[in-house]
Amino acid sequence: MTDRTTLSHLDLETPEKPFLDANELVINMGPQHPATHGVLRVILRLDGEKVLGLECVIGYLHRGVEKIGEHRTYTMFNPYVDRMDYVAAVSNGLGYCETVEKLLHVEAPPRAQHVRVILTELNRLASHQLWLGTHALDIGAITPLFYTFRDREEILKIFEKYCGARLTTHAFRIGGLQYETYAGFEQEVKNFLTFLKPKIDEYEELLTTNRIWVERTKDVGRISAADCIGLGVTGPVLRASGVKWDLRKAQPYACYKNFDFEIPIGENGDTYDRYLVRMAEMRQSVRIIEQAVDALPEGPIMAKVPKVMKPAAGEVYHSIEAPKGELGYFIVSDGSTQPYRVRVRPPSFVNLQALDIMCRGQLVGDVIAVIGTLDIVLGEVDR
Amino acid sequence: MVAKLKRMYGSGVEPLTYTGQNYMIVDRSLIPEILQVLRNEEQFDYCVDITAVHYPQREKQFDLVWVLYSFARNERIRVKTLIADGATVESSVPIWPTANWLEREVFDMFGIRFDGHPDMKRILLPEEWKGHPLRKDYGILQQDNEWVQINLGIESGQ
């Protein structure tokens, strides 16, 4: 099962010893396939049921977000970033706003920073819930989907009440927030956390010791820490391979340094460990939100930013820990109202590159499990 | 570290800082060597991103940028080089395997080729597409009309 090749064998042309004396079979999976979480096409090279290698064909959702950025003002481009990772739109917005704030040399006021952390962590919960539901569904467990979507709804309700949108929220503005929190916001978030905590236990009860789940995920899609680093894989996938690295701790942004939380890590770097890491991360997010709500300061929600934003010429790279991994923005300003270049460093795109090495030597059915465990969003892969 | 590189390579390396972020402009001919040194001796083991910026009015039209991170030092650095249109750069896939897709994207969007890349082809756009969209001379509404007509059957090509 663990017949995996080294990094030097990334291309598909590499000759490999056949597992059985049979002809090699090339089959196509996708682009319209329920388990690829979007329009992803995978060309599989098989020997019987064993995967010899695979190639991803992407770009079906390419909308040219980076090009659009060059033709919009800094403010106008803000809603576009929500459409990349559409299940974690708040994180995208946070990364973008903070990068432009760096270019403008402004910092959001403390109250805005706290609200940002609360909403971003709520979004991380929502993203992980969506991941858990769909990943379990792919593997054949239908119930978790109903549980997680039922509970995710409560988060979306908070978003809707706060900014009017459920998915593509455009919750933040450059320099802070547009809207003050609504009356009863703190209480509602607290109530939600009290509601959610036993629900996370419930998800775990369904899966963690479930024999079918364990058999389908243990030792499937293993990746070592060295391979993760070499391939630039970040987020829960990297942490499940045993690397204790989280940008919220390593290079704290917003006001994460005020809060006390752990970085959960795994040992084996297999699908089961990635599941455990994400479950533990949800509990940590709950902890962060609790602290942020309690510490929510009074004060302004918007820094002093000019109506017409013209950052001084220069370039800045800033990244945040999105639910999927390191989400970076590299913005070049030429001193005008529009960015000269916006580059998005998407975690899903870079993580997807590891699919080949993770699937080699596995069975066809495991490819589905590995795509699910990578937690990709094709809107972000293709941009 | 930067002082050491400066001593080793002289005027080929120019270290700079903007808003607290370090980057250096490196001569194109020194790129393979400096990336290797950063990876092996300075522990920049994680290649975060490779991208480019197009300045059509310059003689050397492209900025090519590597964003690197070191887990051991918890430090980021950007390496930048200026290259002319049509010039190529040594691929960094042997140094960081993650460069594979990142370099393909740079090629797709800007038309910059990387020498020694194992699979130098487009990644987001179709293989037969003409033009590189993130160049400044490529209009925002521009498309490869011929490709659209043939493959999507849309008469106007838009």
The pLDDT assigned to B127 comes to 86
The predicted-structure confidence for A60-103, as pLDDT tens digits, reads as follows 888 889 999 999 999 999 999 988 888 889 999 999 999 999 99
The pLDDT assigned to A14 comes to 54
Number of compact structural domains in chain A: 1
Q: Max Cα separation, chain B?
A: 61
Taking the CA of residue A338 and the nearest CA in chain B, the distance in Å comes to: 14
The pLDDT assigned to A289 comes to 93
Is the Cβ pair A314, B19 closer than 8 Å? yes
CA-CA-CA-CA dihedral for A28, A29, A33, A35, to nearest 10: 170
Looking at the partner chain, which of B21, B76, B97 has a beta carbon nearest the beta carbon of A10? Answer: B97
* In contact, A64 and B142? CB cutoff 8 Å: no
Report, as an integer, the average pLDDT of A34-48.
83
Residues 6 or more apart from A164 whose CB is under 8 A from it?
Answer: none
Q: What are phi and psi of A374, to 5 degrees?
A: -70, -20
The percentage of residues in chain B with a pLDDT greater than 90, rounded to a whole number, is 19
Band of residue A132 on the pLDDT scale cut at 50, 70, 90: very high
The pLDDT assigned to A2 comes to 44
- Write down the pTM of the prediction: 0.86
The pLDDT assigned to A1 comes to 42
Please give the residue that has the higher pLDDT: either A36 or A342.
Answer: A342
For residue A268, is pLDDT > 60? yes
For residue A214, is pLDDT > 70? yes
A133 assigned to some structural domain = yes
DSSP code string of A62-102: ---HHHHHHTS-HHHHHHHHTTTSTTSHHHHHHHHHHHHHH
Is the Cβ pair B74, A105 closer than 8 Å? no
A250 assigned to some structural domain = no
Test the A interface: residue of B25, B65, B93, B98 with most A CBs within 10 Å: B98
Q: Which two tokens stand for residue A126?
A: 């929502």
Taking the CA of residue A36 and the nearest CA in chain B, the distance in Å comes to: 17
Is the Cβ pair B124, A245 closer than 8 Å? no
| Consecutive H or E run containing A320 | strand A314-322
Alpha carbons B34 and B52: distance in angstroms, whole number: 18
Report the range of poorest mean pLDDT among A12-16, A262-266, A377-381. A12-16
Q: Does B144 touch chain A (CB under 8 A)?
A: no
Report, as an integer, the average pLDDT of A221-244.
90
Name the closest residue on chain A to residue B98, using Cα atoms.
A231
Q: Which two tokens stand for residue B5?
A: 């590189």
3-class DSSP state of A7: helix
Residue A194 Cα distances to A187, A191, A198, A333, B96, angstroms: 11, 5, 8, 44, 44
Q: Does A327 touch chain B (CB under 8 A)?
A: no
Report, as an integer, the average pLDDT of A228-234.
90
Is the Cβ pair B74, A250 closer than 8 Å? yes
Band of residue A158 on the pLDDT scale cut at 50, 70, 90: very high
The pLDDT assigned to A11 comes to 55
Looking at the partner chain, which of B74, B78, B97 has a beta carbon nearest the beta carbon of A317? Answer: B78
For residue A8, is pLDDT > 60? no
* In contact, B112 and B88? CB cutoff 8 Å: yes
Report, as an integer, the average pLDDT of B8-23.
78
Name the closest residue on chain B to residue A341, using Cα atoms.
B53
A368 assigned to some structural domain = yes
Is the Cβ pair B46, A243 closer than 8 Å? no
Task: Tell how far CA A353 is from the center of its chain.
Answer: 15
Band of residue A283 on the pLDDT scale cut at 50, 70, 90: very high
A266 assigned to some structural domain = no
Looking at the partner chain, which of B48, B119, B123 has a beta carbon nearest the beta carbon of A232? Answer: B48
Kindly list the residues from chain A whose CB atom is less than 8 angstroms away from the CB atom of residue B58.
Answer: none
Kindly list the residues from chain B whose CB atom is less than 8 angstroms away from the CB atom of residue A382.
Answer: 124
Band of residue A21 on the pLDDT scale cut at 50, 70, 90: low
Name the closest residue on chain B to residue A56, using Cα atoms.
B123
A240 assigned to some structural domain = no
Tell me what the pLDDT averaged over chain A comes to: 87
The sign of the CA dihedral B94, B99, B105, B109 is negative
* In contact, A159 and A122? CB cutoff 8 Å: yes
A174 assigned to some structural domain = yes
Residues 6 or more apart from A98 whose CB is under 8 A from it?
Answer: A253, A254, A318, A320
Q: Does A330 touch chain B (CB under 8 A)?
A: yes
Kindly list the residues from chain A whose CB atom is less than 8 angstroms away from the CB atom of residue B97.
Answer: 7, 10, 230-231
What's the CATH number of domain B2-124, 3.10.105.10, 3.30.465.10, 3.30.460.80, 3.10.450.200?
Answer: 3.30.460.80
Kindly list the residues from chain B whose CB atom is less than 8 angstroms away from the CB atom of residue A105.
Answer: 19
Is the Cβ pair B118, A231 closer than 8 Å? no
Looking at the partner chain, which of A58, A67, A230 has a beta carbon nearest the beta carbon of B98? Answer: A230
The sign of the CA dihedral A56, A60, A61, A62 is positive
Alpha carbons A94 and A159: distance in angstroms, whole number: 15
The predicted-structure confidence for B107-155, as pLDDT tens digits, reads as follows 999 989 898 888 888 899 888 888 899 988 888 888 888 888 888 888 7
Kindly list the residues from chain B whose CB atom is less than 8 angstroms away from the CB atom of residue A314.
Answer: 18-19
Task: Tell me the domain boundaries of chain B.
Answer: 2-124, 130-158
For residue A179, is pLDDT > 80? yes
Tell me what the pLDDT averaged over chain B comes to: 86
Taking the CA of residue A50 and the nearest CA in chain B, the distance in Å comes to: 24
Kindly list the residues from chain A whose CB atom is less than 8 angstroms away from the CB atom of residue B96.
Answer: 230, 232
Name the closest residue on chain B to residue A314, using Cα atoms.
B18
List the CATH number of the domain containing A333.
Answer: 1.10.645.10
The predicted-structure confidence for A46-56, as pLDDT tens digits, reads as follows 888 888 888 88
| Binding-face residues of A in 188-247 toward B, CB within 8 A | 229-233, 243, 245
A119 assigned to some structural domain = yes
For residue A303, is pLDDT > 60? yes
The predicted-structure confidence for A95-118, as pLDDT tens digits, reads as follows 999 999 999 889 899 999 999 999
Name the closest residue on chain A to residue B76, using Cα atoms.
A317
